[in-house]
Each structure stands twice: as structure tokens, then as C-alpha cells.
Structure 1
Amino acid sequence: MATPEKEPLHVLNRVFGYDAFRGPQQEIVEHVVAGGDALVLMPTGGGKSLCYQIPALVRDGVGVVVSPLIALMQDQVDALRALGVRAGYLNSTQDAEERRLVEAEFAAGELDLLYLAPERLRLESTLRMLERGRVALFAIDEAHCVAQWGHDFRPDYLALSQLHERWPDVPRIALTATATEATHAEIASRLALEDARHFVASFDRPNIQYRIVPKGEPKKQLLGLVRGEHAGEAGIVYCLSRNSVERTAEFLNQQGVAAVPYHAGLDARVRQENQSRFLREDGLVVVATIAFGMGIDKPDVRFVAHLDLPKSVEGYYQETGRAGRDGLPSTAWLAYGLQDVVQQRKLIDTSEGDDAHRRRLAAHLDAMFALCETVECRRVQLLEYFGQRGEPCGNCDTCLTPPQSWDGTVPAQKVLSTVWRLQHERRQKFGTGQIIDILLGRTTAKVSQFGHDALSVFGVGGELAEAEWRSVVRQLIARRLLAVEGDYGTLVLTEASGEVLGGRREVPLRRDPARVKAARPARTAGPGRQAAAAVELSPEAEPVFQELRAWRAAEAREQGKPPYVIFHDATLREIASRAPASLAELGEVSGVGENKLARYGQAILGLLAAPEGSAPAGSAPGASAQAPPAPDGPGPQALAWGDEPEPEEPGWEPEPEPEDG
């Protein structure tokens, strides 16, 4: 029978500083503590890591965590050590002596958690080491990496199904932040977890405001988002190609926004330095391809922006989920236009693999198009994609500024008729620009050269402006009523085009709303929705919060650690609002655990007691902590609950083939 000190709720409070579990956390923890296997699907920021960290602290032995993120293991371990948790890792960044020391600590039972890359478990020497100690559990993080058609497939994960054969009495818990029902089933099958208990939390992230805007001048639109809504705040900008990454980062820096690039073409040392800066500096923007992001624990990312269309809803959800891990209001912003549709269709048509593979890619893309073109609540559509029900949220662009749906059958027929006449009467193929010029009756040099002003459809499209015609073409391509062909993006008819031309199919279209300056993301969700409560600061508390952030930044610089490792913004906001006058009162703040209270308590109380403008810049003497892995733990304040595209790249860097011995 567990002692009171070993009770999960006591560990949650003493180590992590939270009063209660949230969502299914408690049920998962108790199941694994009792020795059961589990497969956990929980959104980013939902508290996945606590689901294995607390059982590892409660059960006898060492929790072995399999993670693909060797570049982040150091930060994860530092954060745990700051909480008083005995944590270590083994990967290729260490020399032989460092690895021997960690292996000795494991064998002596001096660790609570040990992080390993999956490649390590291919080595017989690693397996023998694990047999010399006592394993409390195996946690398989980022479990979607095992799915062949998931967005981060990693072959090394396939061997993890053998763990239960070698350690049949050790519980396994596999965790992922995103999976459709098909990916869920594949994870269970490949990891031999069909008989495990499956926990599927709600994928709703009510603190994130989803917005998809018509693409005009994307870099300028991005600058408006950053300056107008998120000035001085951390964010991630995703681009499809390396060139776009470089140009966008340069543009932001020229406009006075601190930004760094990240893509696979950069030198590994530069990539690591830029990632480290992003984690450790307040208010930095990283511009990246999808090579960046998986496992990023930074809790205060206030926006994620996409300048190019993601390839799937799963990828979009995973990437946008890196915003607002602390539960505070954040923005997921996507600029979407006709060229995105053309480019993505072209990428699928020229992709490697068989027809079945291309059909799967097309199905993923169709779902992404549907999300972009919907006139309904975006959050509802996102949840439905993952097999969950939702209600209109009141905190996405289609709820805040409802778009109109209109009968686009006649305009669609005009576009398709123009393409048909060029394709069949003239044996010619042209791109979108020429089609629109013909419809608008423009006598351009190209129109005159090919005699297109003699076509019967010349000038029949005066009822719509050019931007509206581009929207019509975009939606026709997205719905497969029109196709893109060749290197020049020429338009051709599809099998379904005849249904529209023959009047047998209506074409309802989405009218892009007028561009208006968006309000900052709401601090609460819509009717009937649950969001993490953000502490609203009074005019008197705001400067105190800023002083606490300055103190935290100084402490982080001194330790060489990310600021969030000291405390999350949400915790500092509560401290500023409550103004605790004693260690006991400070210990009641969400996110202030036993270890942090001892290390930082007096420094914070001294800052709060100091006259305004004279608060100490550093911490109490001897304070040298790092901090909590709160990113995946319960968010404070909540109860614990163009150019050539970048080749398909995973969001991880595989560990070099280790030597056995």
C-alpha cells in the first residue's frame, strides 16, 4: 500500500505545485500506477507528460521515456531536476564518461526518470543495462511516429512493440497529441497495445483562436498580425520552402521584429543555436519549415502562423497546438490562396509512391481544403475530423465574422466553359490568369496574340472582380471540379466538371469576408465551452507582473535556461494579482511546487515587498534552480486537466547509429 507521500495527488501538489488533476489525468495515472498499459490521445498542452511522470515517481524503479527529441532532452531533464526529480538521459550528444555516469545512476536506483532515443533500444548493451536496474514503466512519447502514413513516421519506433516481450510485467504508456481514428488504430496495432486501455481526451483547445484569411500580400499580412496583435510576443511562422523561410525571417528583421530561420538546409549548429534562442529568449519569432516544432515545450508561444497551406488537418492541428500551451489566449493564423491549392495538387501528382499513397495524400488535402472553405465553425470541423463533437465556439473567424455562402453555379459554369473552349476548341491550356482575363474581357497582349477575344465567353464575367474570380477558381480546384496540370499550372476539366456544365450539380461557394482588423484573441471561449482561466491584471498588478518577468529573465540568463523553466507567465500573473505576503501564501499559487518555493520564494517575496522601481533584478542568494516541465503538465491557473518546397521532413533529428559495446 502506498504511503501518503507516494499518493499521486500528493506528488502532483508537492512536486509540480498543482492542487488537482484535470480531464482524464487522474484515471490514466491510477491505471498505470496499478500496472496497466495505456494508449493516451491528448492535445498539446493537455498534460500528457504528467501521465507518465507521476506514475514513475510513485512506482518502484525508474521510468524509461522513449523520445525522438534528442535536441530537447537536456531541457526536459533540466526542468525535472529543478523540481527535485532525479532525471537523466542517454543520447549521442554525451561522451562516454557522461553515459557511464548515467548508466551507473540507473543501476544504483538513483534516477526517477531516464530519457532514451528509440535508436538506443536497438542496442543489446542498452537492453542489458535496463535489465541490471528496475524499470517502473516504459513511456513512448510522440507515439504517432509509429504510424506509416502519419505525419512524423519513424521506423525505429516499430521495434518498441518488443518491450512487453522482454519486460512483460512492466506497464507501457504510449502518448500522442494528435491522431485520427485510423492513426489511432495503427498505433495500437504496431505497438501491440490493442489490449491496453485507451484514453481519448477532447482535442478542443478553447484558448486558441483559429483564423484563416485570404492570401493577398502574405508577408505584409503577417507583419500586421505580429505588430497589431502580438508585439513583443513569441511566435512560430511556418513556410513550405527553405527560401520562403529565409526571406520571411529577413523581412521581419528588417521591419524590427526579432526573428530567426530554421530549416534542414541550415548547418546543424546554426539550427541548434536558433532553436536554443527561441526557447530562452522572450518575444523571439522563429520562421521554419515543418522540420521544426515537435516536442517544443515553450509554453508562451502566443501565435502560430502559416504562410503556406499544411498538407493535412493532422499536421495543421499539431503545428497550431504549439501555441498557448500555458492555457492563455493565443492565435492560429493561416493565409490561404489559389496558389496554395495549385501547388499542393501539383505536389501530390508528382509525389513518389503508388496510386494508393497518392489517394491518401489527396484525402488528407481534401480535408484541409474543407476546413479552409467551410462557412461553419472551424473548431467544430476540426473536432469532427478527429471523430469528436463540438458546438460553435464563438472564438474563431467564422464565428466572429460569419462568411456568406452563395450560389456559385453560374460563375462556375463560366469558368469551366472557358477552360473547355480553350481545351477542346483551340487545343490550348492556360493558367488562372488567362482564364480570368478572358472572363473580364481584358484585351491583353496574350489575349490578342491567341485570339481569345473572339471566344464566346470573352467578357461574360463582369459581375465579379478579379479577386472574386480567383476565389471561384480556388474553390473549384479544391472540390476537384477543376484540375491543375503540368509545370505551368494550367487548368483542365475533371470527370466531375460535366455535371456542373450540364446543370446537374449546383455549386455553393464561400464568399471571402472583407478584410477587417481582428481583435486580440478572447480570454474566454464561447458559450458552454471550458477554457483555462487567465488572470486579468489590474492596473496596479500589471507593473508588478512586468517586474516579475524581468526578475525571471535575469534568473534565466544567470542559469543559462529558458525563462519558462523558472515560472510560466500564468504563474507570474497569479503572483502579481494575489501579492502573497508569506511563503505559505506563495505556495498556494498554481505552479509553485515545494522545490521552487524553497529556491525562489524569498526572492519573490522580496521583490513584492520592495518599493516600486527598486525591485531586485535577481533571485535570492544561492538560487540555482532550473524549473518545471510544466509545458505538458497542467497549465497554471487551470485545475490539473513560388519556390521549390521543402522536401517532406520529420520534426525530429534522428540519433546517429550508436556503437554497441
Structure 2
Amino acid sequence: MEAILKEYFGYEKFRYGQQEIIENILAGDNALGILPTGSGKSLCYQIPGLMFEGTTLVISPLISLMQDQVDSLKRRGISAECINSTMAKRDLNDVMGRLVRGELQFLYVAPERFNNEEFKTAVRHAEIPFVAFDEAHCISKWGHDFRPSYQSIIPELKALLPDVQIIAVTATATEEVEENIQELLNIKNNAVFKTSVRRDNLKLSVNGTYQREQFILSYIKERLEQSGIIYVSTRAEVEKLSVYLTDNNIENVIYHGGLGKKERNDNQQKFVSDEVKIVIATNAFGMGIDKPDIRYIIHFNLPGDLESYYQEIGRAGRDSRPSDCILLSTQRDVNLQQFFIDRATATDQYKDHMREKLDLMLQYNKTSKCLSSFIVKYFNHDEYVEACGQCSSCLSAERTEPMTSEARLILELVQETDGQLSKELVIQVLRGENADNIVARGLDSQERFGVLDSYRTSDVNHLVEELIMRGYVHCAGNRMHLVEKSLDILNRKVKLYTVPYRKHYNERVNVSTDSSPNEILYDKLLSTRKNLADKHKLDEDAIFTDQILKEFAKKMPQSKQDMMHIQGVGNYKLKHYCPYFLEEIREHGGSGVTSG
């Protein structure tokens, strides 16, 4: 394995995660690898492919991506080809003949190729022990770039190659996407390998300037020798921004789906070869671009979800050198993304899911928390994070509000309860809420019960989130735990400051179960969701996410009208699912509220 790495790819040792994935494949199990952009995902299937007898079949979404991979393998003396829709019939037959004769080590195809009977016949007669799904997030209906063709070929593939071994690799998979891929490809929990999405060399920033064009012009003028990508949401705005920069003597090329194939390829090549330093593009540009020295990515508009955003900024700094990732946006961008969702040819259920993702993108755009930690927690709720110290939130001059004493009270409660409380319970205890779930656990007798009773729920939540995002406490498995860094606060070694967050400093708020999730009711709602998911053969999150159920448990809506005020409840879910949850809430005896 190490000899192949050195001989064919020139590396002395594996990167983190690669060896574990390869060893799992060689042991005969299917595997899922979730590794950041630029971390060498392709090696995870190329090295086993070189060790197996026969041809490794690679499912890939884009012609340009396939061709780049094939060219790279050929330069290393490896027999590889791809099949795509632009090939002449004679060339196509030649590749399929080589497949059947066992002359190929790798064959790259798009999923749509499985609609072709000649291709399927060739696959039946070939020796194919191993199949790799590249960009595997395309398989999942909950992925940001779902392609039905990716998912629809899975039964066909299993019928054609019943004993084939499978690997799936991607850089972007939320926990629900990860679980969906596992289910579809029969991948066990112990065969999922993922590394942190954190990229310490990327400096993240959100800039709320209203003069976006002027900001970009000034930024570029200070770094004319650096390569960068500017992402824009529409073709018209790509053209408009390009003209603006050209008029100001900034050379650039453009890339979007409205250009001819030759012009797109020419412009891409000019950028990759450093003939032109700047490309202005829609999200059609970037997948498979092998350019390690991209020093900045600027988003002129707000993306529709964090997966897309992370994948796009992941194209910066692949040489591990510092690189900037800047997000610009206006309210008009939000309206545009909502328009895209409304016009999408998708079910109401899927549109609701897209709206939830857009809401999280908006939260990233507005958060005062560490941006790097925010992204890490989005992809893996249980990962321990520490503030990066270099993003626009961490460097904000607005961190003037002392929070040291409150932080100590929070950590002392976590220490006393030995890491047995969820974040929601910690907040309820600190606020002194006499909720039935608090009383039932005897938490109302805790020494620190009610020590923050003059704070609103949102205030205490802000403080707890600050501690999590800055690494002073760890929240995993829905439980809060102390870490070594916690001692700095408990032993009074540090002083902490946050952004101003309290609206009424001397107000004593009324405590009630309406302001935090009622955990007994929440457990009942989880059970209701599971029953509905089993009945309709859906993922549980397709009914409602955990966060929405927590909102139900907080607000205890009493009617469909009440439920419509809760983010993530669309018309489809209102009609098909909400009656079951309303019935559970009423049986629980909640009096209900209709606002937060």
C-alpha cells in the first residue's frame, strides 16, 4: 500500500484518514469517506483500485471532473479512460471493448450511462470488483447537489454486480446526508471515516458593506498577483460585475452555463494556467479545478446553503497557505434564494428542507460566534471546537460585554452535574424554571438553580453557545461536558467578553416551560415522529428536524395556525403531519403559546 503511494503518486506517507479508509476496503467492507476538499479523497479508491484484479468503476458527476482524473492517472502510467456523452461511437466502442478485455484499471462514467443497454452488457462481461461513488453527497436527497440519477442507479448496479465492493467519498455531508448514504449503499457505522471540515488556513469573514463592487475592486487592487474566484448567483450579474472590473482595468474571465462549451473551457484554462488571475462565475464553476494557489474566494451573493458555501470556499488554499473567504450579501440575495426555492421543481416537503438550509445560511451570515466553529458544528454537532481567532466574528471590536462571572456559573453547574445535562436543561436550571421535567429530575434543588433568573432564555443560550464555540465546554451526544480549557474559567485565569446581548438588565423574567423545551413533551414528540417515519417509510428528519420539535415543545402550539408561525412548517407538513403532533401536545396538557 505504501509502496504504491510512493511509486505512482510520489508521496512518502498518507494524509490523515486515507490509510484507515483503504485498510477498511482491503478488509472487504464497503466504506464512506468524508474528507475536506483538497485532502486526497481520490487516493482512497485509486490505491485499492491498483491493488485489485480487474477494473475499478468510478461514478462521477461531471465530464470535466472525469477527464481531469483520467488525464492525471494516465500521466502516472495508469490505464484509465472515461465514457461521456460527447464521444464518437467508434471511441465509445473501443473503450467498452477494452473494459471487457480487462485492459483498463479505471473507468470513469456518469450515472446516466447506466441507461445505456450496450454499456450494461459490457459491465456484465467485465471483471469489476470495486465501484467508487465520487462526490457521493449527490446520492442523498438531503444533499445540496442531489442528482436523482445518482440514487436511481444503485439498485441497477447491485443487480449487475451483486458482489461488488463500494466506496463513497465526499467533502460535504451533514449527519442526515451521511446516514442516507449509509442506508442506500449498505455501509456500517464502523466503516464511516470522517475528518474535521475545519481548514485553519482559511480566514473566513462576513462583510455587510452596501458597496460590494467598490469593495471587490479595492480588495483586488491590493493583490493583483493573486488568483481568486468571485461567485455570483446569476448569469446577468456575472456579466455586469465583469464589465465593472474590466472598466476599471482589472482583467478577468467569466464562467456560467450560458456560455458555449469552447468559451467555458478556454476561460477555465486561462485561469488555471495563470494567464488571467480572476474568474467571475456562477456555482457552475469549480468542481474538479486543480489549482492549489487560489488565494481568495469572494461570494458576491448569499449562497442557498452552507454545504454549497463550504464546497466553494474549499477551493481556496489547497496548498495550505493562508487564503481569504469573504461573504458579501444583501437582503435582495435572500429574496432571490427564496425565489429559487419557490420555482424549484420539487415536492413541498423538499422545499421545506431547502428553506431550513437557507435559514441556517442566514444564521451564519448574522452570527457573532466564530465562523469556523459554526461551520464545523453544522457538519458535526458532536465535534469539539475552539474559536479560530482569525475570522471576522473573532476579531470583532464589538466584544465589549463582560461574561466571565456568568461563564463560571454555567461551568460550575456542568461540573456539579457531572456532564449529565443537555444544553436545554442547563439553561432551564440556571434560569430557575419550575418545569415538570426539572422537578421530576430534582434539578430544582441544585445549588445553582435560578442563579441567572433575571436573564431571558435567549440571553443564557447566547452565553452557553459562546462557551461551546470558543472551546470552554463541549456539547456532544446532547450532553454538556467540561474540558481542560474549562479550568481557565473555573480557576479565574481568564476574563471573557462577548458582543452586547442583554436587552433588559434589571428585568426579572417570568419563568415558564414555554421558554425552553419541555423535555417530557419533547420525548413524546420524538416518539410521534418515529411512528410517522416508519408509517411513511421516510427518514425521521424528513418529518420534522429535532430543532422544530424543540420549538413545538417550547411553544406548545394548539392549532395549525399556531404551527404556521414556526420556522420550517410548510403547507405540506401542516396538512400531513401536524395533526399528529397537535394531538400529542393537547394530550400532554400544554396551554400553548403562539409566539417566541
Same-fold call, TM > 0.5? yes
Q: Which residue of 2 aligns with 1:258?
A: 251
Does structure 1 residue 337 correspond to structure 2 residue 337? no
- Residue from 86, 94, 97 that aligns with 2:90: 97
Distance of 2:170 and 2:305 partners within structure 1 = 17
Letter of the 1:273 partner, please give it. D
| Contact 1:233/1:282 (8 A) holds in 2 | no
| Contact 2:30/2:186 (8 A) holds in 1 | no
What are the superposed Cα offsets for residues 296-333 of structure 1, whole Å, 9 maximum, x if unpaired?
33322221110111111111111111112232222111
Distance of 2:100 and 2:345 partners within structure 1 = 46
- Residue from 361, 369, 373 that aligns with 2:366: 373
Q: Which residue of 2 aligns with 1:492?
A: none
**Percent same amino acid among aligned pairs?**
39
Does structure 1 residue 295 correspond to structure 2 residue 288? yes
SS in 2 for 1:178: coil
| Contact 1:232/1:283 (8 A) holds in 2 | no
Distance of 2:249 and 2:122 partners within structure 1 = 52
Q: Which gives a bigger RCO, structure 1 or 2 (Cα 8 Å, sep 6+)?
A: 1
* Matches for 1:237-316 after TM superposition, within 5 Å: 237-316=230-309
Distance of 2:345 and 2:77 partners within structure 1 = 49
Q: Which residue of 1 aligns with 2:209?
A: 215
1:254 Cα deviation from its structure 2 partner: 2.7
Distance of 1:80 and 1:117 partners within structure 2 = 18
Q: Which residue of 2 aligns with 1:50?
A: 43
Distance of 1:242 and 1:141 partners within structure 2 = 28
What are the superposed Cα offsets for residues 21-58 of structure 1, whole Å, 9 maximum, x if unpaired?
11110011122123221111111111100000111111
Distance of 1:196 and 1:92 partners within structure 2 = 38
In structure 2, do the counterparts of structure 1 residues 371 and 406 end up closer, same or farther at CA, with 3 Å as the change threshold? farther
- Residue from 385, 389, 397 that aligns with 1:390: 385
Distance of 1:283 and 1:394 partners within structure 2 = 33
In structure 2, do the counterparts of structure 1 residues 213 and 195 end up closer, same or farther at CA, with 3 Å as the change threshold? closer
| Contact 1:375/1:403 (8 A) holds in 2 | no
Q: Which residue of 1 aligns with 2:55?
A: 62
User: Unmatched 5+ residue regions in structure 2?
Assistant: 403-454, 463-483, 485-596
SS in 1 for 2:393: helix
* Matches for 1:424-503 after TM superposition, within 5 Å: none
What are the superposed Cα offsets for residues 379-413 of structure 1, whole Å, 9 maximum, x if unpaired?
11110011133111123222234544789xxxxxx
User: Unmatched 5+ residue regions in structure 1?
Assistant: 1-7, 408-502, 511-527, 529-661
Letter of the 2:306 partner, please give it. V
Distance of 1:320 and 1:56 partners within structure 2 = 30
Distance of 1:406 and 1:361 partners within structure 2 = 35
| Contact 1:223/1:252 (8 A) holds in 2 | yes
Letter of the 1:220 partner, please give it. Q
- Residue from 186, 195, 202 that aligns with 2:196: 202
SS in 2 for 1:394: coil
1:81 Cα deviation from its structure 2 partner: 1.2
Per the normalisation by structure 2, the TM-score is 0.64
1:341 Cα deviation from its structure 2 partner: 4.0
In structure 2, do the counterparts of structure 1 residues 160 and 389 end up closer, same or farther at CA, with 3 Å as the change threshold? farther
| Contact 2:113/2:119 (8 A) holds in 1 | yes
Q: How many residues align?
A: 408
* Matches for 1:498-647 after TM superposition, within 5 Å: none
Letter of the 2:199 partner, please give it. R
- Residue from 169, 180, 185 that aligns with 2:174: 180
Distance of 2:400 and 2:306 partners within structure 1 = 22
SS in 2 for 1:145: helix
Per the normalisation by structure 1, the TM-score is 0.58
Distance of 2:218 and 2:393 partners within structure 1 = 20
Distance of 2:107 and 2:179 partners within structure 1 = 28
RMSD over equivalenced CA pairs, Å: 2.8
Distance of 1:304 and 1:327 partners within structure 2 = 15
Letter of the 1:324 partner, please give it. G
Distance of 1:124 and 1:239 partners within structure 2 = 40
In structure 2, do the counterparts of structure 1 residues 57 and 391 end up closer, same or farther at CA, with 3 Å as the change threshold? same
Q: Which residue of 2 aligns with 1:189?
A: 183
Q: Which residue of 1 aligns with 2:130?
A: 137
Letter of the 1:94 partner, please give it. M
In structure 2, do the counterparts of structure 1 residues 373 and 195 end up closer, same or farther at CA, with 3 Å as the change threshold? closer
In structure 2, do the counterparts of structure 1 residues 393 and 504 end up closer, same or farther at CA, with 3 Å as the change threshold? closer
| Contact 2:252/2:276 (8 A) holds in 1 | no
